[in-house]
């Protein structure tokens, strides 16, 4: 569950029924499968693929970018989408980190920018995911130095490495402060060795968080931090017990609640939001972990406001990716990426892989692919490939992906 390159899955529990076939397949109308070059930069979207996405953004309340983690391209694509979307009004950004961790990030972006994030993560590179990569932090910084960024996930298992510092500063007595710093230092040591099993959020039970909360009676900020950590520990505990379905259900419920809290608190009647999260979270329909995740909420919510949601999967065919791999004093490493999805989809649709060039990015509108493969070919695909075809509107891919740049890898 800790590799950024992989999306943690489970057994696909419900088979998708074969769809009705035409009595004469040859007579069925066919849609051309387009493969369009797309560029994205600080200036926005470009190319034929960029023009297609620009048109889709006009009525979009929600832009849901689902990724396999560890690439520089997906936050850069999201940055270009934000550039274009702001032409239609104010925009927020929802990220896959916890809300109290996001407070930590926001304070540093406001006070010292990316340099403050980097220095704050020194010795603690696994404190939180994704915004610990420079490209994701640049994306967040573009939203009013993080002021318009919503952290809507559970607190990551490494979060106590930074959040216990804040709790220690609020501690009512020396004993409590000392106990919190012991927790922090033990987590730093364990995660430095890649030992996720013995860190605080994977070992503490509900009674420990309850007792800690009683120590901080009267501090609303301490209560918010402890409550968020306790909720996250509960989700992790389910995973550690092998209750994977319930783990995913409760994490999704937590994410939905955090999102709706921010959504309702926004001053706009129908706030527009750019998401960038793991692909399982952002697609419509039953995920390969057998739940309805946040992406399934967005179309109806947008439709109630007379708007749409646009779902874009960023899944390379090759290149390099950054993964969590503690070794030699570093928490992450760069390695070749192995595609298990896009090539299988193209092969099932009899699309020559050479249509994806050796360099650059390409946009594939998914509806024609979905229609071409409906039935036996769709059901024969791996669970995640089916989910992408059924749950997304566009696929952005490349053979030459660039790995994300972790702050621990940024040279002075």
85 φ, ψ to 5°? Answer: -65, -30
Q: Are residues 139 and 277 in the same domain?
A: yes
Residues 240-293 pLDDT 10s: 999 999 999 999 999 999 999 999 999 999 999 999 999 999 999 999 999 999
pLDDT band of residue 30 (cuts 50, 70, 90) is low
Q: State pLDDT tens for residues 158-203.
A: 999 999 999 999 999 999 999 999 999 999 999 988 899 999 999 9
Last residue in a domain, options 218, 240, 262 = 240
Alpha-carbon distance values, 183 to 124, 160, 168, 172, 186 (Å): 13, 8, 11, 17, 5
Helix (H) or strand (E) holding 114: helix 99-120
What integer is the mean pLDDT of 366-370? 95
Q: pTM for this one?
A: 0.91
Residue 193 and residue 109 in one domain: no
Considering the domain architecture, whether residues 44 and 63 belong to the same structural domain is answered as yes
Distance CA 37, CA 46 (A): 9
Residue 411 has a pLDDT of 57
Burial status of residue 170 (CB atoms within 10 A of its CB: 0-12, 13-18, 19 or more): middle
**Phi-psi category of 129—alpha, beta or left, where left has phi over 0 and alpha has psi -120 to 50?**
beta
* pLDDT for the residue numbered 262: 97
Q: Which stretches of 268-382 are DSSP H helices?
A: 279-282, 294-303, 342-348, 366-373, 376-380
- Tokens 């995911």, residue? 129
337 occurs within a structural domain: yes
Confirm whether 112 is domain-assigned.
yes
Q: What digits encode the pLDDT tens for the residues 313-337? A: 999 999 999 999 988 888 999 999 9
Closest among 9, 19, 67, 12 to 378, alpha carbons compared = 19
Query: For the range 407-410, what are the long-range contacts, defined as Cβ-Cβ under 8 Å and sequence gap of 24 or more?
Result: 407/114, 407/117, 407/118, 407/121, 407/125, 407/132, 407/133, 407/134, 407/137, 408/121, 408/125, 408/132, 408/330, 408/331, 408/332, 409/330, 409/332, 410/118, 410/134
**One domain for residues 173 and 113:** no
- Amino acid 328: pLDDT: 81
pLDDT at res. 327: 85
Query: Domain check: are 36 and 134 in the same one?
Result: yes
Alpha carbons 66 and 276: distance in angstroms, whole number: 6
- How far does Cα 250 stand from its chain's mean position? 17
Three-state SS at 335: strand
Asked which of 220, 240, 260 is the last residue of a domain, the reply is 240
Q: What is the mean pLDDT of residues 295-313?
A: 98
Mean pLDDT to the nearest integer, 212-216: 94
The pLDDT score that the predictor gives to residue 10 is 34
Residue 374 shares a structural domain with residue 290: yes
Q: Is residue 9 part of a domain?
A: no
* SS3 state at 285: coil
Given a cut of 60, whether residue 17 has pLDDT beyond it is no
Shared domain for 264 and 124, answered yes or no, is yes
Residue holding tokens 């952290």?
151
**184 shares its domain with 266:** no
Tell me phi and psi for residue 311, to 5 degrees: -115, 120
The angle formed by the CA atoms of residues 206, 155 and 114, to the nearest 5 degrees, is 150
Which of the listed residues 186, 218, 240 is the one where a domain comes to its end? Answer: 240
**Does the pLDDT value for residue 3 go beyond 70?**
no
**What is the domain-level CATH number for residue 102?**
3.40.50
In a domain, residue 286? The reply is yes
Q: Using CA atoms, how far apart are residues 105 and 99, in angstroms rounded to an integer? A: 10
Tokens describing residue 33:
């499968």
Q: Looking at the predicted structure, is the pLDDT value of residue 12 above 80?
A: no
Whether the per-residue pLDDT at 15 is higher than 50: the answer is no
Domain presence at residue 8: no
The answer as to whether 87 is a domain residue is: yes
Give the chain's mean pLDDT.
91
Share of the chain above pLDDT 70, in %: 92
| Pairwise CA distance, residues 240 & 42, whole Å | 42
Does the structure show a pLDDT above 70 at 1? no
Same domain, 120 and 267: yes
Whether 88 and 166 map to the same domain: the answer is no
Helix (H/G/I), strand (E/B), else coil: 361: strand
Please report whether residue 3 resides in a domain.
Answer: no
The pLDDT tens digits for 35-60 are 999 999 999 999 999 999 999 999 99
Rounded to an integer, the average pLDDT of 85-95 is 97
User: Could you report how far apart the first and last alpha carbons of the chain are, in Å?
Assistant: 31
Query: Do 369 and 307 have their domain in common?
Result: yes
**Is 287 domain-assigned?**
yes
**Residues spanned by the domain of 354:** 25-153+252-409
Q: How many domains does the chain have?
A: 2
Q: 378 and 290 in one domain?
A: yes
């Amino acid at each position: 569950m800790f590799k950024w390159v992989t999306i943690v899955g489970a057994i696909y529990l419900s088979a998708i029924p074969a769809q009705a076939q035409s009595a004469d397949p040859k007579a069925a109308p066919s849609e051309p499968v387009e493969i369009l070059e797309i560029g994205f930069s600080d200036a926005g979207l470009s190319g034929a693929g960029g023009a297609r996405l620009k048109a889709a953004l006009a009525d979009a309340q929600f832009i849901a970018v689902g990724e396999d983690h560890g690439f520089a391209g997906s936050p850069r694509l999201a940055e270009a989408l934000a550039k274009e979307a702001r032409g239609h009004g104010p925009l927020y950004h929802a990220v896959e980190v916890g809300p109290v961790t996001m407070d930590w990030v926001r304070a540093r972006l406001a006070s010292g920018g990316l340099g403050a994030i980097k220095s704050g993560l020194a010795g603690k590179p696994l404190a939180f995911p994704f915004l610990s990569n420079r490209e994701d932090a640049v994306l967040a910084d573009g939203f009013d130095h993080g002021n318009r960024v919503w952290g809507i996930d559970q607190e990551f298992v490494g979060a106590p490495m930074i959040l216990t510092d804040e709790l220690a500063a609020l501690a009512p007595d020396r004993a409590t402060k000392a106990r919190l710093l012991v927790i922090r230092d033990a987590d730093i040591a364990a995660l430095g060795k890649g030992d996720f099993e013995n860190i605080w959020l994977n070992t503490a039970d509900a009674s420990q968080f309850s007792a800690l909360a009683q120590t901080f009676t009267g501090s609303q900020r301490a209560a918010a931090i402890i409550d968020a950590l306790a909720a996250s520990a509960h989700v992790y505990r389910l995973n550690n017990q092998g209750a994977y379905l319930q783990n995913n259900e409760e994490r999704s419920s937590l994410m939905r609640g955090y999102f709706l809290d921010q959504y309702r608190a926004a001053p706009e009647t129908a706030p527009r939001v750019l998401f960038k999260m793991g692909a399982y979270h952002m697609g419509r329909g039953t995920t390969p972990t057998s739940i309805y995740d946040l992406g399934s909420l967005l179309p109806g919510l947008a439709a109630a406001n007379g708007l749409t949601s646009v779902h874009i999967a960023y899944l390379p065919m090759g290149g390099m990716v950054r993964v969590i791999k503690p070794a030699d004093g570093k928490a992450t490493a760069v390695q070749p990426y192995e595609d298990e999805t896009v090539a299988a989809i193209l092969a099932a649709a009899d699309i020559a892989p050479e249509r994806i060039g050796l360099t650059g990015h390409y946009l594939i509108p998914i509806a024609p692919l979905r229609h071409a493969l409906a039935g036996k070919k769709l059901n024969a695909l791996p669970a995640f490939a089916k989910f992408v075809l059924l749950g997304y509107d566009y696929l952005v891919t490349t053979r030459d992906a660039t790995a994300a740049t972790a702050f621990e890898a940024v040279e002075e």
